[in-house]
Amino acid sequence: MNKLSALLITSLASISSFADWEVNMPRGVSPTANAAYDLHMLIFYITVVIGVIVFGVMFYSIFHHRKSKGAKPASFHESTTVEVIWTVIPFVILVGMAVPATKTLIMMEDTRDSEITLKVTGYQWMWKYDYVEDNVSFFSKLDNKSNEARQLGSKIDVNKVDNYLLNVDNEVVLPTDTKVRILLTASDVIHAWWVPEITGKKDAIPGYINELWVDIKKPGVYRGQCTELCGKDHGFMPIVVRAVPKQEYVKWVSLNQKNRVADKSE
């Protein structure tokens, strides 16, 4: 019992110290993520309006048409006019949603004219990144601190671990204001690559090469995770993308190319 109350107290304490009551999708830093956010909000507001109207009518009825208030049942039970109206209006609303959705989809699937290509390969349970043109290649997996803390019975306070479960040993570095084509595949089972602020997810499937494109507009560090169940450590293969201005990216590439050359000569 003491143990339980201690657990409760520490949990409640953590609510105040690490409160993060995020309730919505983050606004993106790339055209595709922003478009998804805008669509999300548009459809959300439409459903809210429909909900308010339908539930409003329903609650009006619940409060006014009750037997305890002496309501006598009416006898109507069909009306072709009404039924046609409430078939047609939703259809029109749907067309209104489908138009921007289709436009956005076409934009998202257009991977032409990219400047660099990043190949991402999913492994159980890490990612491999190949910069196709620049000849840089490395694996990226959960950083050691998170990995120690996440073991069953580790007794490490995960709230004190820097970016718990969302930190990696080797970050992906990408240039800003550059259309990057991302090719996705996997070596063992299906994984999915997702960094919400940069792009929606796409599956990395053995035997397939899927395509995504990103164009990050703001330098920064963006975090994501594998989002297709891929075995016991599915929850432990994060993605970290560091977006840097182009010059810095060029520097990073030359530095890492050298390292690779040095590795080979050993």
Partner 1 sequence: MSTNIDHIKEEHHHQPSGLMRWITTTNHKDIGSLYLWFSLLMFFIGGFMALIIRAELFQPGLQLVVPGFFNQMTTMHALIMIFGALMPAFVGLANWQLPMMIGAPDMALPRLNNWSFWILPFAFTMLLSTLFFESGGPAAGWTLYPPLSLQGGNSMPFVIFSLHLLGASSILGAINVIATILNMRAPGMTLMKMPIFVWTWLITAFLLIAAMPVLAGAITMLLTDRFYGTSFFTAAGGGDPVLFQHIFWFFGHPEVYILILPAFGIISTIIPAFSRKKLFGYDSMVYATASIALLSFIVWAHHMFTVGMPLAGEIFFMFTTMLIAVPTGVKVFNWVATMWRGSMTFETPMLFSLAFIILFTIGGFSGLMLAITPADFQYHDTYFVVAHFHYVLVPGAIFAVIAAVYYWIPKWTGKMYNETLGKVHFWMTTIFVNITFFPMHFVGLAGMPRRIPDYAVQFTDFNMIASIGAFGFGLSQLLFVYILFQTLRQPVTAADKSWEGAEGLEWTLPSPAPYHSFDTPPKVD
262 binds partner 1 (CB under 8 A): no
Helix (H, G, I), strand (E, B) or coil at 23: coil
234 near 225, Cβ under 8 Å?
A: no
Among 13, 47, 245, 259, binds partner 1 (CB under 8 A): 47
Q: How far apart are CA 262 and CA 266, in angstroms?
A: 7
Does residue 227 touch partner 1 according to CB under 8 A? yes
Kindly give the residue spans of alpha helices, DSSP state H, lying in 79-138. Answer: 80-108
Stretch 158-177 residues interacting with partner 1 (CB under 8 A): 158-159, 163-166
Report in angstroms how near the CB of residue 211 gets to partner 1 at its nearest. 7
Residue 181 or 202: which CB sits closer to partner 1? 202
Q: Of these, 126, 199, 216, 239, which contacts partner 1 (CB under 8 A)?
A: 199
As a whole number of angstroms, the distance between CA 235 and CA 2 comes to 31
Smallest CA-to-CA distance from 97 within 58, 50, 57, 53 is with 50
Q: How far is the CB of 15 from partner 1 (least distance, A)?
A: 6
Quote the tokens at residue 95: 């067309």
Which residue in 91, 144, 245, 254 binds partner 1 (CB under 8 A)?
91
Interactions with partner 1, residue window 7-26 (CB under 8 A): 11, 14-15, 18-26
Q: Is 196 in the site for partner 1 (CB under 8 A)?
A: yes
CA 74 to chain centre: 50
The yes or no reply on residue 221 touching partner 1 (CB under 8 A) is no
The nearer residue to partner 1, 65 or 246, going by C-beta atoms, is 65
Do 138 and 178 form a contact (C-beta atoms < 8 A)? no
Q: Does 43 engage in binding with partner 1 (CB under 8 A)?
A: yes
Residue 169 beta carbon to partner 1: minimum distance, rounded to whole angstroms: 17
Provide φ and ψ at 91, rounded to 5°: -60, -45
DSSP 8-class letter at 26: P
183 sits near partner 1 (criterion: CB under 8 A): no
